[in-house]
Structure 1
Amino acid sequence: MSFYRTWSRPTAQLWEPILPEFIRGVIMEFMGSLLFLFTSVGTVVFSCNTSGSLSAGGQATATCSLDESRVTVIAFSFGIAIFTMIYLVAPFSGGHLNPAVTVGLLVGCRITLLRAVFFIPAQLAGATVGVGLVKAVSKTNYAISGGGANALAGGATLGGAWTMETVLTFGLMIIVMMATDSGRSRVASHVPVLAPLAIGLWVFLSHLVAIPIDGCSINPARTFGAAVVSHNWAQHWLYWVGPLAGAIIAGIFYSIVMEPIAVDIVDPDAYPVKLPHFPGQGTMRERNWQSLKEEIANADNDIEQNGDEPADSATSSPIARKSRRA
């Protein structure tokens, strides 16, 4: 047996939504999205260095300037916010905080459909409340800044923005898939430890690149929350289609091309089966490793009974040879 990857989804139980750990995961996705949008969009709103004010009709009489220093501050805010929020939320839900990430993990067979169905509304609700709290703090700054809503910059095209969102979300999703791969974590134990940092750095870089083009989304919940509160739905579909396309492509690409395939890299008995930092995402891996060990055991029994060794089977791996020597 040369490959252990199987395209099978973690088993979903109908009663899963009533389990305490599932409920905690949904609540933490809501809370994490709220805090993420409050701090990141708050930076967009309150970093306006302008003397503008509201007219009698409640309209903004000035707009924010977007210079290099402000782009850097906003990008850093989004990167450090997602880094800290994943650190906070991951032990409870995996720390998605992004509908595109949830869909990508679903396509990559890392989570159940039930988790996706419950997590995405929680993320959207949390993002909306987070942006609403930013507006409640200062309606003047909120109006002058445009509410932190995503919008195409002058000269940017829909095709260019779509490409930007798709490519950047693809990169984000690849990093997330690697960070949550329990098979790879056996080979590189530092992967789960550095996961939030790697994700945060990519989000930081993505915002440096995309803010001057379309404000940078790579997270439909971020755009949705800002759109609901600001009532600005211009090209809203773009910030769903682009990130979702990138996440879906990444989920398929990683599962086919990048997923660890050599079962004899490590002894599965020497490493924990699940990633403790990403609950609910180790079910498929656990089943695959268990099936592998059972197949090796059955092959060893056949050898003992028949006295012959198949040339092309799981018994040719170092794991099987080790078990026979033992």
Structure 2
Amino acid sequence: MVWEAHLSMMKKTAMNTHVNLRHMLAELVGMALFVFVGTGAAVFFSDPKSTDFTNAAAMISNTRLEPLFNVITTNSSFGVVTALAFGIGIMVAAFSIGHVSGCHLNPAVTISLLLSGNCGIGQAIANIVAQCGGACIGSLLLWGTSDLRSHGLGANSVGDAYSVGNAVLGEIVCTFLLCYVVHMTAVDKNSPPSTNGLAPIAIGFAVFLGHAVLIPLDGCSINPARSFGPALVANRWKDFWVFVVGPIAGAILSVPMFFLISQPWEAKRDAKGRVVEDPQDGTMKIESAI
């Protein structure tokens, strides 16, 4: 059966214990820069505004424009700029090191690729260690760059207006979106070459969309390593489990959905009922593009 062939190939790849140190280094450096840029935008744009903004606020104080000004300079700038920083950051990283390590830069993505048979267990463990180490380096760089250390260096936390359950579900859904897009664009060999080549853009927008939704809720993690770095450096561990359990659950759920949608449900058979493979049909392939 076709599914049996897929499962056999997945198992063979997943059980591979080989570790490529160059891939590991790429993940370390990429994660450090990604966390520095993303959490840096979150920290600096949550800072009180500059003198120019203050003077402008004073000029329109007690006018009908004041509420609009506050929304634009506080809520919109913080949320949109931070979401763009994370989204563009992962897109730039994917174009930069995608051909080296696959640019996972996320333990949840690595776990989903392991489960789909596109990453060996040895490399998966090495990548996750590198990602967590890189996140700590990125947070340390931000700690040295900013005096706003009491703000938590961009550490995730559940908003006061929301429950832990809200945050877990949000992290599951948005991580599912990210891992599903990764598989359908960067992994699925059935996708057109144009789609496969532009996978970093699609993945970047998936990260942007996740942040656009979740920043007000919990700061948006969808990446356990991204949450681990700031939590360790700033010593902010409240509800940290949310940002591990939610993303991993979303990553796991994305894998069966990827197979159900991207792969044929029934095998092609000849007149005698034997399974055959059409050499012109790419649906029999399930190779990693990263």
TM over 0.5: yes
Aligned residues of 1:4 and 1:261 also touching (Cα < 8 A): no
In 2 relative to 1, CA 158–136 (structure 1 residues): closer, same or farther, beyond 3 Å? same
After TM superposition, what 4+ stretches of structure 1 lie above 3 angstroms from structure 2? 1-5, 10-14, 314-320
2:75 aligned residue:
67
1:218 aligns with 2:222: yes
Q: Following the alignment from structure 1 to structure 2, what is the Cα–Cα distance between the partners of residues 10 and 181? A: 17
Matches within 5 A, 1:106-185: 106-138=114-146, 140-143=147-150, 145-185=151-191
Q: Which amino acid aligns with 1:6?
A: H
Q: Following the alignment from structure 1 to structure 2, what is the Cα–Cα distance between the partners of residues 3 and 151? A: 41
1:100 aligns with 2:77: no
Greater mean alpha carbon deviation, residues 107-116 or residues 161-170: 107-116
Q: 2:85 aligns with which of 77, 82, 100?
A: 77
Query: How many aligned positions are there?
Result: 256
In 2 relative to 1, CA 161–179 (structure 1 residues): closer, same or farther, beyond 3 Å? same
Q: Following the alignment from structure 2 to structure 1, what is the Cα–Cα distance between the partners of residues 132 and 4? A: 36
Cα distance, 1:3 vs. partner? 6.2
Structure 1 residue runs without a partner (length 5+) = 53-64, 265-291, 297-308, 321-326
What per-residue deviation string (whole Å, max 9, x for no partner) do you get for residues 230-286 of structure 1? Answer: 10000000000000000001112212x12332899xxxxxxxxxxxxxxxxxxxxxx
Q: 2:94 aligns with which of 70, 86, 89?
A: 86
Structure 2 residue runs without a partner (length 5+) = 51-72, 282-290
Q: 1:34 aligns with which of 9, 29, 32?
A: 32
Matches within 5 A, 1:270-285: none
Two-structure CA RMSD over aligned residues (Å): 2.6
1:6 aligns with 2:12: no
1:259 aligned residue:
262
In 2 relative to 1, CA 189–319 (structure 1 residues): closer, same or farther, beyond 3 Å? closer
Q: Following the alignment from structure 1 to structure 2, what is the Cα–Cα distance between the partners of residues 44 and 117? A: 29
Q: Following the alignment from structure 1 to structure 2, what is the Cα–Cα distance between the partners of residues 201 and 125? A: 25
Q: 1:202 aligns with which of 202, 206, 210?
A: 206
Indicate the percent of aligned positions where both proteins have the same amino acid: 34
**Larger C-alpha radius of gyration, 1 or 2?**
1
Q: Following the alignment from structure 2 to structure 1, what is the Cα–Cα distance between the partners of residues 49 and 104? A: 38
Cα distance, 1:215 vs. partner? 0.6
Q: Which amino acid aligns with 2:106?
A: N
Cα distance, 1:191 vs. partner? 2.3
Q: Which amino acid aligns with 2:21?
A: I
1:240 aligned residue:
244
In 2 relative to 1, CA 104–25 (structure 1 residues): closer, same or farther, beyond 3 Å? same
What per-residue deviation string (whole Å, max 9, x for no partner) do you get for residues 3-35 of structure 1? Answer: 686113244555x23xxxx11100001011001
